[in-house]
Copies of this chain bind each other. A is one copy, B any other.
């Protein structure tokens, strides 16, 4: 449908982060040039990114921070609350469940699931207890969960994804090291890939050129 470059969407989330900080610091407007400097890109990139969605600035003046925060919220779809479930209560699943920043950004963790009976029933945070995977489908419907985090081992990930998709989950964040076959949007986060690409930059010293 809309032809928005993926890098543009990612940068929008990063502008949002900067604008939040600026607002907190009491600023009320900023130029594309200043914003660009904060994230080490060109000012024309900032303006181009925003121009896909409208004209939010004032020539000669810059952008109103409050206004721009609101616009980016609407563009990204983070003006509303999203209910999130986590599949896999291992190391990563539990860390995400406890991660305060996520809730601060309008993503509410409503459930955590695992197959390990020693984990089921354990409280992760006040009001958040690990549930049995067998109750997954029912839980999704009853709690209107829309986003799921897959934090299972790779072997389990595809069958979990199938169940999620079938139950009406609309998007997946996948921490498992595998490419999923499914028809809803997926964001992949393989922590080990970041380590590997980092050391490639280190050994080839090409990060700056």
For the complex, is A34 an interface residue (Cβ under 8 Å from B)? no
A132 to B102, CA, bound (A): 28
Nearest-CB residue, chain B, relative to A74: B203
For the complex, is A160 an interface residue (Cβ under 8 Å from B)? no
Number of copies of this chain in the oligomer? Answer: 2
Q: Known: A102-B191, A191-B102. Contact between A202 and B1, CB under 8 A? A: no
Bitwise, A167-209 to B at CB < 8 A (1) or not (0) is: 0001111000111000111110111111111111111111111
A100 to B192, CA, bound (A): 10
A192 touches B38 (CB 8 A): no
Nearest-CB residue, chain B, relative to A6: B197
For the complex, is A4 an interface residue (Cβ under 8 Å from B)? yes
Q: Known: A101-B177, A199-B82. Contact between A17 and B189, CB under 8 A? A: no
For the complex, is A110 an interface residue (Cβ under 8 Å from B)? no
Chain B residues with Cβ below 8 Å from A64 are none
A197 touches B187 (CB 8 A): yes
Q: Which of A1, A102, A201, A205 has the most CB of B within 10 A?
A: A201
- Ordered by A's residue number, 12 sampled pairs between the chains whose C-beta atoms are within 8 Å are A1-B205, A1-B206, A13-B197, A17-B190, A38-B179, A75-B200, A76-B196, A76-B200, A91-B95, A101-B192, A186-B198, A187-B194
Interface residue ranges, A against B (CB under 8 Å) = 1-4, 6, 9-10, 12-14, 16-17, 21, 38-40, 75-78, 82, 84, 91-92, 94-96, 98-102, 105, 107, 146-147, 154, 170-173, 177-179, 183-187, 189-209
